Amino acid sequence: MFKSGFVSIVGRPNAGKSTLLNQMLKTKLAIMSDVAQTTRNTIQGIYTDEDSQIVFIDTPGVHKPQDRLGSFMNTSALNSIYGADVILFIAPANEKIGKGDHYIINRLKEAEIPVYLVLNKVDLLSKEELIQKLMEWQDLFPFKEIIPISAKTGLQVDHLIRVLKDDLHEGPKYYEDDQLTDHPERFIIAEFIREKILHYTHEEVPHSVAILIDKIEEDEKEHRLDVIASIVVTRDSQKGIIIGKQGAMIKKIRLAARKDIRQFLGMDVDLDLFVKVEKDWRNKEKYLKELGYNEDEY
């Protein structure tokens, strides 16, 4: 019997949702950063083995929004629970249970499907601390099960997948065996570029950056992908940071992003990056639509 289903991963920013998705897929699909709210869109990652297919939905961290982009991110994350077969609520074991966690739990009470608490980063706790944390969470919500893991090291991740497979019903294979995501190439490419900017510029250019793919063209004869992308920021000072002295920073971003894109696509990539300033783009419909947020859908 072949089983399949959709599993939504929800939680606060920096809980480890994208790290867990990458660990389950055994490949880098979702970008990762210590900067909060790194994930902006729901990202579907597809796990397939000989007897099952699980479509994981990695969602933006639920947070207090400061602009239209933030509002769309929250709505996108919380709406994902309604189309899923199972919900994974991931929370960091080494942090206090906060207002954001309580807010998510109140929304989860509306779901009529199994909800698992995935307690992440347990490698940072002692056995006594973990037992105390488990007791605190048990009193908040009737989770089907609480599964302690470390998404970073892979601890208990295989067990988590086995538990999910037991909860799935007989169903079709939605995607081909070797397909890892339903997102188009341009989305993945933009995300890899954005990750390198977050990595190299740290707190200097946090959420003020958007990536627009201006051109993507495949040279089948050379087995090469030619990509031109625009990096959009809100201030001239941020443009200067990204370009760097004598173009050193943007060169570093381009080379690192190209390496990840090449590895993911399995082909040569020629990447050109340009930087432009667009004040307050996070509240402008044009850019929100380009990033995949359509106000009519929310």
d(CA 167, CA 108): 18
Over range 200-217, report the average pLDDT: 79
Interval 148-205: pLDDT, tens? 999 999 999 999 999 999 999 999 999 999 888 877 788 889 888 988 998 888 766 6
In terms of Cα–Cα distance, which of 81, 50, 82, 75 is closest to 60? 75
Categorise residue 266: left if φ over 0, alpha if ψ from -120 to 50, beta otherwise.
Answer: left
> CA angle, corner 189, sides to 188 and 190, nearest 5?
90
pLDDT band at 85 (very low <50, low <70, confident <90, very high): very high
Of 34 and 24, which is predicted with more confidence?
Answer: 24
Q: What is the mean pLDDT of the chain?
A: 83
Of the CA atoms within 13 Å of residue 115, those in its CB half-sphere come to 22
DSSP string for residues in 45-111: EEEE-SSEEEEEEE-PPP---SSHHHHHHHHHHHHGGGS-SEEEEEEETTS---HHHHHHHHHHTT-
Amino acid in position 161? I
pLDDT band at 287 (very low <50, low <70, confident <90, very high): low
Q: What is the pTM of this model?
A: 0.70
Of 274 and 109, which is predicted with more confidence?
Answer: 274
Interval 88-129: pLDDT, tens? 999 999 999 988 898 888 888 888 889 999 999 999 999 999
Domains in the chain: ranges and CATH? 3-170 (3.40.50.300), 185-297 (3.30.300.20)
Structure confidence at residue 198 (pLDDT):
85
Structure confidence at residue 72 (pLDDT):
52
Handedness of CA 188, 199, 293, 230 (dihedral sign): negative
Structure confidence at residue 185 (pLDDT):
83
Q: Quote the distance between the C-alpha of residue 78 and its chain's center.
A: 14
Interval 221-243: pLDDT, tens? 778 899 999 998 888 999 999 99
Structure confidence at residue 36 (pLDDT):
44
